[in-house]
Structure 1
Amino acid sequence: MSTTFEIPRYEQVPETKEDLDWAELVTIDLSRFDQPGGKEELVQKLDHAVKNVGFFYVKNFNISQEEVDRQFALGREFYALPLQEKLKYHSAADLERGEYNGYRPAGHRMLGNGIKDNIQVYNIPKFDGHHSRPQPAILAAHINEIEAFSRKCHTEVVEKLLRLFALLLELPDENQLVHDHKYDDEGDDHLRYMHYAARDASENKRAAEIYTPGHTDLGSVTLLFRQPVAALQILNSEGQWKWVKPQDGTITINTCDALTALTGGLIKSSIHRVRTPPADQAGIDRLGVLYFARPNNHVVLDPIANSPVLQRLGLTSNVFTEMGKHLTMKEWVQVRQTQQQRKKQEARISDDGKYTYKPKDMEIIPGLLAKVYN
């Protein structure tokens, strides 16, 4: 007999009133997607964003605010569980092998200066039949709703963006990238509930006001649903860190490493970090709902050979092929996640906030190191 859990409505906290240095990002209106000339118009808007910053907003994406708020509410209910209950869905051994689904408690990593990370993560793999996992009762009771939301993220947002990227690359088939990202084929897409606990001022100072140092994501695109606690920053093409403003009715999108590899570097893997929120939000815990889209496991991360754009620009190699590697997405996820989830030695944090790790802690594969952007 299934258990029913009533989920109270989720109420977002107020936005900051501080005058922050906000990034100027384009907004892609997906209501234009099926209108005459709409896709071509959207590709023109995307062109600069994905080649220079790798961040943009989408709006009118056919997922209601009520559906989004329900996912925030489910995330809130999960994180309200006792730690011992959440730890039933955590495996340190899995993390060491690069298996990242399930729960990761805060404090798994040491940041530096004696400060541990303040981030809890719960990953729910896509419902492709290859990732059978037990779920806590509060989520199991709503698993059909979670699956429906996961699938809508993919069909309503990810697949449309992949078609726009195909047009940008002048591929002969608008659906070529969609075929490499089929929801029901084995892959590592996942939905994430993410919780950042507020820290006191002294801890924030010792961590150089950083929750997560500058990095790139490893997949194709990441969907970040509107999060009113300002903390996300992007590194723009001028080398400046800019705050990302929570825009009503939008999803913030960033492009990621696999897409960069497939396009020979044409589409930029966005560099971003999470820092201490502004003073009027510094004491508020930050809850996030994200969807990570990745190529299917079998896809080889070589530059796309039949793109006239890549051929014209001579973008026929990437960091993998230059090392003589032809990694599948499954192989890339495994080695990158193994490096990311490693319990690193503490970083050396300089007075100006620069994080420096020992090379062995950043090695993904021999000859390829992960980068931390300061």
Structure 2
Amino acid sequence: MPGKVISPYKQVPVTKADLDWAELVTLDLSTFDKPEGKAQLVDQLRYAAQHVGFFYVKNFDISQEEVDRQFALGREFYNLPLEEKLKYHNIKDLESGEYNGYRPAGLRKLTDDGIMDNIQVYNLPKFDGFHKRAQPAVLQDHIGEIETFSRKCHDLVVNKLLRLFAIMLELPDEEQLVRDHVYDDKGEDHLRYMHYAARTPEENKRIGELYAPGHTDLGSITLLFRQPVAALQILNNQGQWKWVRPQDETITINICDALSALTGGFLKSSIHRVHAPPDDQAHVDRLGVLYFARPNNHVVLDPLSKSKLLERLGIKSNQFTELGQHLTMEQWVKVRQTQQQRKTETPKISKDGKYEYTEKDLEIIPGLRAQIHN
């Protein structure tokens, strides 16, 4: 039997609100293979990495039609009845650090009078042969194109950026980071469809106008495909929260914890949060398509010993090694995701959106706690 015909995805109009937008550089990947192209991109990337850790890429050889198709598939998944989606959810797996499949909204209590989190997540692990999972029919019927899209994210975007980072770090081989992120080796990369349900103005006020407080991602880089509901904010190096503008035919990229660890903090893990949308979009549910790139599971997250740049700067340690830990990526994913998904006490939320959790709720490993960036 043929699968369900998926109707085209139509984006909602962009906001007309006068927001304080971040000024981010845009890397044009069409110049990557041109003479001096990589050197020019490295210069742009160096500025972005040292100032805000966020940037855009364009001309990445994935068509807008392919991107919109993934949004359509995400829409179709979230339109399924809750009981159908829950077939792909396992709370015990989630609380033990396994984060593939479905995470329903409402697992985290935000206020004592019953406001719960509004975030649904569906993670599709990369197609490396190590993460075979049952998928709902609406996705399984299109699994070939989902895999193609996932691999394109990795091959056409992630690998190019890893080569640029390797050049910036003055590694003797620009393929070194690529070899640590091989798609077909065991790793925890995943494609994500993410859904934020709209709230009432009263609810938003009681939770500090935030869908998710300030945080960092745990992998190498995150790819956020353009969608027009304004909500993402970044913390710049002046300590100011700025809105990220949805730019046509771009991907928003942010640097994450593992890449920061591999560079001893030279590359800063980007701090970001999800704010309630502006008034003219506040009634709209927000759907995201993201790809999370991570080092392969065997990679040890010690500072890169072959980087001439890090050697010249005297960078030899990071927050893990200073605790006597030499974590593999697999170990880091497990402990960090376990901390992220464990049940927590209700946080204290101030009127201006500051979230306060207990030290126990934030502990990742002894001596290392997650930070809520207020």
* TM-score, scaled relative to structure 1: 0.99
Q: After superposition, what is the alpha-carbon deviation per residue over 1:166-196, rounded to whole angstroms, capped at 9, x for unaligned? A: 0000111010000000000000000000000
Q: State the partner residue of 1:331.
A: 331
Q: How far did 1:352 drift?
A: 2.6
Q: How far did 1:48 drift?
A: 1.4
Q: State the partner residue of 1:147.
A: 147
Q: State the partner residue of 1:364.
A: 364
Secondary structure at the aligned position of 2:110 is classed as: strand
| 8 Å Cα contact 2:205/2:351 also seen in 1 | no
Counterpart Cα distance in 2 of 1:271 and 1:39? 26
Counterpart Cα distance in 2 of 1:112 and 1:45? 43
1:100 and 2:99 are equivalent in the alignment: yes
Secondary structure at the aligned position of 1:115 is classed as: coil
Counterpart Cα distance in 2 of 1:57 and 1:294? 19
Any residues of structure 2 matched to 1:253-292 within 5 Å, and which? 253-292=253-292
Counterpart Cα distance in 1 of 2:110 and 2:21? 26
Secondary structure at the aligned position of 1:222 is classed as: strand
Q: State the partner residue of 1:232.
A: 232
Q: How far did 1:89 drift?
A: 0.1
Q: After superposition, what is the alpha-carbon deviation per residue over 1:116-161, rounded to whole angstroms, capped at 9, x for unaligned? A: 1101000000000000000000000000000000000000000000
Secondary structure at the aligned position of 1:213 is classed as: strand
Any residues of structure 2 matched to 1:185-224 within 5 Å, and which? 185-224=185-224
Counterpart Cα distance in 1 of 2:302 and 2:206? 41
Secondary structure at the aligned position of 1:183 is classed as: coil
Counterpart Cα distance in 1 of 2:298 and 2:111? 37
Q: How far did 1:110 drift?
A: 1.6
Q: State the partner residue of 2:87.
A: 88
Q: State the partner residue of 1:37.
A: 36
Counterpart Cα distance in 1 of 2:125 and 2:353? 34
Q: After superposition, what is the alpha-carbon deviation per residue over 1:318-368, rounded to whole angstroms, capped at 9, x for unaligned? A: 000000000000000000000001121111112332110000000000110
Counterpart Cα distance in 2 of 1:348 and 1:334? 27
Q: State the partner residue of 1:132.
A: 132
Counterpart Cα distance in 2 of 1:196 and 1:26? 27
Q: Which amino acid aligns with 2:276?
A: T
Counterpart Cα distance in 2 of 1:116 and 1:48? 39
Q: Which amino acid aligns with 1:278?
A: P
Secondary structure at the aligned position of 2:122 is classed as: strand
Q: How far did 1:267 drift?
A: 0.6
Give the ranges of 4+ consecutive aligned residues of structure 1 lying more than 2 Å apart after TM superposition: 111-114
Counterpart Cα distance in 1 of 2:312 and 2:192? 38
Q: State the partner residue of 1:242.
A: 242
Counterpart Cα distance in 1 of 2:352 and 2:183? 43
Q: After superposition, what is the alpha-carbon deviation per residue over 1:173-230, rounded to whole angstroms, capped at 9, x for unaligned? A: 0100000000000000000000000001111011010000000000000000001000
* TM-score, scaled relative to structure 2: 0.99
Q: State the partner residue of 1:5.
A: 4
| 8 Å Cα contact 2:206/2:351 also seen in 1 | no
Counterpart Cα distance in 2 of 1:363 and 1:82? 35
Counterpart Cα distance in 2 of 1:275 and 1:106? 17
Q: How far did 1:242 drift?
A: 0.1
Counterpart Cα distance in 2 of 1:31 and 1:129? 31
1:18 and 2:22 are equivalent in the alignment: no
Counterpart Cα distance in 1 of 2:352 and 2:34? 50
Counterpart Cα distance in 2 of 1:241 and 1:71? 29
Counterpart Cα distance in 2 of 1:320 and 1:111? 30
Unaligned runs of 5+ in 1: none
Q: State the partner residue of 1:348.
A: 348
Q: How far did 1:315 drift?
A: 1.1
Q: After superposition, what is the alpha-carbon deviation per residue over 1:90-133, rounded to whole angstroms, capped at 9, x for unaligned? A: 00000111001000000011223532110100000000000000
Unaligned runs of 5+ in 2: none
Counterpart Cα distance in 1 of 2:291 and 2:151? 10
Q: State the partner residue of 1:322.
A: 322
Counterpart Cα distance in 2 of 1:150 and 1:112? 37
Q: Which amino acid aligns with 1:319?
A: Q
Secondary structure at the aligned position of 1:253 is classed as: strand
Q: How far did 1:3 drift?
A: 3.7
Q: Which amino acid aligns with 2:62?
A: I
Q: After superposition, what is the alpha-carbon deviation per residue over 1:288-331, rounded to whole angstroms, capped at 9, x for unaligned? A: 00000000000000000000000011111000000000000000
Q: Which amino acid aligns with 1:34?
A: D
Counterpart Cα distance in 2 of 1:29 and 1:283? 34
CA RMSD of aligned residues (A): 0.7
